[in-house]
Amino acid sequence: MPDPSLRLRKLRGLLADRHLDALIVSSLPNVRYLSGFTGSSAALLVDADHALLITDSRYAEQSAAEAPGFDIDVSPGVPALVAARSAGPRRVAFEAEAASYALWEQMRGAAEKSSAQLAPVRGLVESLRARKEPDEVALITRAVEITSAAFEEVLPMVVPGAVERDLALELELRMKRAGAEDVAFDLIVASGPRSALPHGRASEKRLSAGEFVVFDIGARYKGYHSDMTRTVFLGNPGSADSELYNTVLSAQLDGIAAAKSGVAAGDVDAASRRVIDAAGHGSRFGHGTGHGVGLAVHEAPRVGQRSEEVLEEGMTITVEPGIYVQGRGGVRIEDIVLVTREGCRVLTPTPKDRWILE
């Protein structure tokens, strides 16, 4: 992990801009991003001069090893509440999206004991995470490579009679053998009419000839995620099936071509959506065209119709348009791309033109 001092300096600048004295960080991906700590129970209290990591006795040794630049408080109880009790008489922000209503009530009570004034913030650390450093890009790239290699290994098993769930298990096994900590999410293997379900998790259904099979898969490597979708067809596709696939492929390529630093994320979505709309399938593309990927598999920026974010150099985003025909099947194609000044670099190496399995 890089020196956290630069990330903390940027965060402190954001706090000063908002006239906040400190921030309680309770989102575990944000804790990891700022400190390097990978345990399952932690919070940070960051102010202009100090950075405190709060965890419990299970992680006393691990926290000291992983976050050497932080003061460590090993305490029983919920770390965010310990942070609120320790905040002192000042204006302290907390991560609204990481706090349930029940936790917020407890934090408010704890803060009152230290005379702290709590203020909710959204997307503060996430805005820093959106633009990746070179070492982060390298980890994402490795996660992508693991995912792509596993797909190539399993592709010969994609035949009529194969079970969706068995294919998902084979993919998971190969990813972990290649060094993945875990899968990035519940793997999607959806065939036939089920391929029209954008989140059709692998089931006991057997594959049949003459149908689409959608694979939406990813690995987590050293905390960083990959996300890739490929759609294949078992047998000889008819003209309508070919039209669906080629429309989605054209939409995806146009979205990739639109992605570069300074471009609105919504314009990337629009570039893909125009192709699908022109082909008469606009009502069959209901989700956004993409999202950021990093320590979380879905993070900033959002690449959708209502997105107001602007792409910046160093962002890693997915481009994943799809068409879903209820009762028949669906097609989605997804790559991760690295945004650059000149355009973007596709990180996903798996071919998209080899989609017919005869």
User: What pLDDT score does 278 carry?
Assistant: 98
For residue 263, pLDDT beyond 80:
yes
Task: Examine domains 4-129 and 134-357 and report if their fold is the same.
Answer: no
Helix (H, G, I), strand (E, B) or coil at 229: strand
Helix (H, G, I), strand (E, B) or coil at 1: coil
User: What pLDDT score does 2 carry?
Assistant: 62
User: What pLDDT score does 5 carry?
Assistant: 85
Distance from C-alpha of 284 to C-alpha of 170, rounded to nearest angstrom = 31
Question: CB under 8 Å to 102, separation ≥6 — which residues?
Answer: none
Q: CB neighbours (10 Å) of residue 122?
A: 11
> What is the pTM assigned to this prediction?
0.96
User: What pLDDT score does 255 carry?
Assistant: 98
Angle at 316 between CA 36 and CA 200, to 5 degrees: 100
At residue 46 the predicted structure's pLDDT band, cuts being 50, 70 and 90, is very high
User: What pLDDT score does 1 carry?
Assistant: 58
For residue 331, pLDDT beyond 90:
yes
User: What pLDDT score does 4 carry?
Assistant: 79
Q: What is the mean pLDDT of the chain?
A: 96
CA distances from 94 to 62, 83, 209, 250 (A): 25, 10, 53, 43
130-153 pLDDT per residue, tens: 999 999 999 999 999 999 999 999
Name the residue ranges covered by the structural domains of the chain. Answer: 4-129, 134-357
Strand ranges inside the chain, DSSP E: 22-25, 43-47, 51-55, 71-74, 91-95, 117-121, 182-183, 188-191, 212-217, 219-221, 224-225, 228-234, 290-292, 299-303, 316-319, 322-325, 329-332, 335-339, 344-346, 356-357
Name residue, tokens 């770390």.
Answer: 79
For residue 104, pLDDT beyond 90:
yes
316-325 pLDDT per residue, tens: 999 999 999 9
CATH architecture of 4-129: 3-Layer(aba) Sandwich (3.40)
Return the C-alpha torsion angle 32, 87, 50, 90, nearest 10.
120
Fold (topology level) of 134-357: Creatine Amidinohydrolase (3.90.230)
% of the chain at pLDDT higher than 90: 96
Query: For 153-166, what is the mean pLDDT?
Result: 98
Query: For 253-278, what is the mean pLDDT?
Result: 98
